[in-house]
Amino acid sequence: MCGIIGYNGYRNAQPVILDGLKRLEYRGYDSAGIGIINKKLQVHKQVGDISRLIDSIPSFTGTIGIGHTRWATHGKVTETNAHPQLNTSKTIAIVHNGIIDNFLELKNHLQQKGYVFQSQTDSEIIAHLIDEHYHKDFQDAILKTIRQLRGSYAIVAISQKDPDTIIAARNESPLVIGIGDNENLVASDIPALLKYTNRVIYLDDGEICILKKKSVTILDSAGTQKQKETHLVTWDVRDAEKAGYPHFMLKEIHEQPHALTQGLVGRISEINRTVSFHEKIERLLRKPIQKIHLIACGTSFYACYIGKYLFEQLTNIPVQIDLASEYRYFSPKQPDAFVIAVTQSGETLDTLGALRTAKKTGCQTLVITNVIGSTATRIANAYLLTQSGPEIGVAATKTFTSQILMLYLLALKIASNQQTISSDDLYHTLIELRELPREVRQILHQTEEIKTLAHNISNSTSLFYIGRGINYPLALEGALKIKEISYIHAEGFAAGELKHGPFALLSPETPVIAIATHDKIFDKMLANIGEIKAR
Ligand code: M6R
């Protein structure tokens, strides 16, 4: 994952790009670089995080430029491998996120033509290919280049020969255009643009964008101009700042009550005893639903797993859950399934692939996402926004709880449509849901206790999470978070399963976190905890 930004406008580009890179640092930061044109192309690259780039960069002037923060895939972490990557005469600069599958074949072709490579990256071929095709027309050179590329890419390019133009191209890697007044931007993620504009256009696969100071033109891969919708992002630039927290993950954990409140606003009415969504979703839900397929990756998949329990308890509709990466290739074709994809970003490749497969099969599709205008919202028949605010922490926290809330609301809505929930039960549930943000806030007030517990387990090398029922997928998510953030080996188990093998891994040094809530299997959970203590 790399971060990309481009700026073309009236301001000095250097601070805009450096600020954008700072906001994209969460995408990876083993090295970074910037390229600015002021008659001549000026480039500076640095190994390390963005602050090292900022500390070492000379002051470049110029109102057009590009920047990149790298997380190495092809080639070591070196200044040469950092982006921008250049052509031999150092007149063309490109930044790239993605992987070019046919890069060896293209590299051989370019080497035979005399091109000499400086870096070990797959991205450098893009600069040389543009150079090869660049006779008079920058746009034509990019179009010819992307027709040769196979794989995933978000590319942003500038050229000294066309010093007023940025060209961006995308295939399977997100790129968003920010529309300003007398200035336009392009970036891999919205937070990098928010300081300058909240009007955005999402590029689709195969499209290229010609970004001038005062205009933005989108073309398809054949070079034909396209009209695209401009979306208004409701996020504020302050949403993308740490607001006094030491890091974004902690900020986002504490944003859960607010995110949950936002998710409920306008969707539940205790007085009317209703759950309601916008008309497109309402129409989808009015159709008879025989079976539901929930698909996602990672944390979003665990939200789906919880969703399965919720749907099945409330509606009696059979629910199948699938990892999107498996569904794409192995799921039986079931056109009568109602497919709900869950993806915070709306850009996860496997989830997009699964959604496309479901649509091709003839299924009705709904996506639950946090990002308006993301690719998933444009594939599915309808979309439901979690309204959690931007997720910058990478480790999903507030977006996970918001996803579960959305699944719960959908389950309640379908149950109410099918009358598998009584009006009174719905009423009481809605009252409880209204209390949810406050209750989450109460848990967050226990920071000191949580810190002490975390400290006690921080030196463990292995850890178990256990739960039953709806708390089983929660245990899986807990284990995922421990692995991802603490680099401690962690496993989530259904509590009743420990005796079927995993007990072998338990030692007195293994912390076991049991999620024991007052539900119908609370006693069984206590028995499981007793078994663990006995061992
Ligand atoms: O954007 P998505 O929800 O589609 O992302 C899917 C996973 O990559 C994501 O949930 C990941 O597992 C979490 N960020 C981990 O904390």
- In degrees, to the nearest 5, what angle opens at C-alpha 439 toward C-alphas 487 and 413? 95
Q: Is the whole model's pTM more than 0.85, yes or no?
A: yes
Residues 312 and 194 in one domain: no
Same domain, 205 and 231: yes
Run of H or E residues at 276: none
C-alpha pair distances (Å), 1 with each of 33, 70, 153, 201, 460? 15, 7, 11, 21, 29
Residue 520 has pLDDT above 80, yes or no: yes
Q: Which of 212, 239, 266 is the last residue of a domain?
A: 239
Total Cβ atoms within 10 A of residue 55 = 9
Using left for φ > 0, alpha for ψ between -120 and 50, and beta otherwise, residue 436 falls in alpha
Handedness of CA 383, 388, 391, 395 (dihedral sign): negative
Q: Which of 348, 398, 484 is the pocket-test mutation for ligand 1 (most atoms within 8 Å of CB)?
A: 348
Q: Does 336 lie in the same domain as 188?
A: no
- How far CA 229 is from CA of 8, 82, 179, 459, in Å, comes to 21, 34, 12, 51
Instruction: Give the pLDDT confidence of 258-294 residue by residue, as tens digits.
Output: 999 999 999 999 999 999 999 999 999 999 999 999 9
Torsion angles phi and psi, residue 296, rounded to 5: -175, 180
Is residue 5 very low, low, confident or very high in pLDDT (cuts 50, 70, 90)? Answer: very high
Measured distance CA(146)–CA(140) in Å, rounded: 10
Helix axes 124-133, 103-112, angle to 10 degrees: 50
Q: Beta strand 291-296 with 319-323: parallel, antiparallel or unpaired?
A: parallel
Q: Which of 27, 252, 299, 487 to mutate to test the pocket of ligand 1 (most atoms within 8 A of CB)?
A: 299
User: What's the pLDDT at 333?
Assistant: 82
Q: Using a 6 Å CB cutoff, which residues line ligand 1?
A: 297-300, 343-345, 348, 351, 394-396, 484
180: left (phi over 0), alpha (psi -120 to 50) or beta: beta
Angle, vertex CA 512, rays to CA 507 and CA 518, nearest 5: 145
Would you call 368 helix, strand, or coil by DSSP?
A: strand
CA distance 164 to 166: 7
Split at pLDDT 50, 70, 90, the class of 238 is confident
pLDDT of residue 535: 85
Which ligand 1 atom is at minimum distance from the Cα of 394?
14
Domain match, 153 and 62 both = yes
DSSP code for 496: G
- Residues 213, 347: Cα–Cα separation, whole Å: 28
Q: What is the CA radius of gyration of the chain?
A: 25
Domain edge (last residue) among 185, 211, 239: 239
Ligand 1, from 173, 247, 248, 345: best to mutate by most atoms within 8 Å of Cβ? 345
Name the pairing type of β-strands 216-219 and 208-211. antiparallel
- pLDDT attached to residue 25: 82
Which of helix, strand or coil describes residue 316?
coil
Residues 437 and 452 in one domain: no
Measured CA angle at 247 (ends 244, 253), to 5 deg:
90
Structure tokens at 230: 């401009």
Output the DSSP codes for 198-220: SEEEEPPTT-EEEE-SS-EEEE-
- Measured in whole angstroms, the distance separating CA 78 from the mean position of its chain's CA atoms is 27
Q: Give yes or no: residues 329 and 414 share one domain.
A: yes
pLDDT band at 75 (very low <50, low <70, confident <90, very high): confident
Q: Which residue type, as a one-letter code, is found at position 258? A: H
Tell how far the Cα of 67 is from the centroid of ligand 1, in angstroms. 25
**In the sheet where 3-8 sits, what is the strand order?**
40-47, 31-38, 64-70, 3-8, 184-187, 176-179, 199-202, 231-232
Domain interval for residue 288 = 248-445
> pLDDT digit string (tens) for 316-368?
899 999 999 999 888 888 999 999 999 999 999 999 999 999 999 999 999 99
In this structure, the residue with its CA closest to atom 8 of ligand 1 is 298
Give, rounded to a whole angstrom, the gap between the first and last alpha carbons of the chain. 43
CA 123 – CA 45 distance, rounded (Å): 15
pLDDT at position 526, please? Answer: 96
Ligand 1 centroid from CA 51, angstroms? 27
How far apart (Å, rounded) are the C-alpha atoms in residues 252 and 261? Answer: 14
- Give pLDDT, residue 202: 93
- Closest ligand 1 atom to residue 348 Cα is 4
Q: What is the CATH number of the domain that holds 347?
A: 3.40.50.10490
Report pLDDT for 435. Answer: 97
Residue 282 and residue 199 share a domain: no
Q: Are residues 167 and 295 in the same domain?
A: no
Residue type, 471: N
279, 130: one domain? no
Name the domain boundary from 214, 239, 264: 239
Measured distance CA(339)–CA(363) in Å, rounded:
7
* Single-letter code of the amino acid located at 107: K
Look at residue 393 and tell me whether its pLDDT is greater than 90: no
- Count the Cβ atoms, other than its own, within 10 Å of residue 257: 19
Q: What are phi and psi of 206, to 5 degrees?
A: 85, -5
Rounded Cα gap, residues 474 and 451, in angstroms:
20
- How many whole angstroms separate alpha carbon 533 and alpha carbon 516? 15
Residue whose C-alpha is closest to residue 511's, from 199, 486, 373, 524: 486
- For 404-415, write each residue's pLDDT tens digit: 999 999 999 999
Structurally, how many domains does the chain consist of?
3
Question: Domain check: are 453 and 514 in the same one?
Answer: yes
CA of 300 to the centre of ligand 1 (A): 6
- HEC string of 409-477 equals HHHHHHHHHHCCCCHHHHHHHHHHHHHHHHHHHHHHCCHHHHHHHHHHHCCCCEEEEEECCCHHHHHHH
**Domain match, 127 and 256 both:** no
Are 313 and 283 contained in the same domain? yes
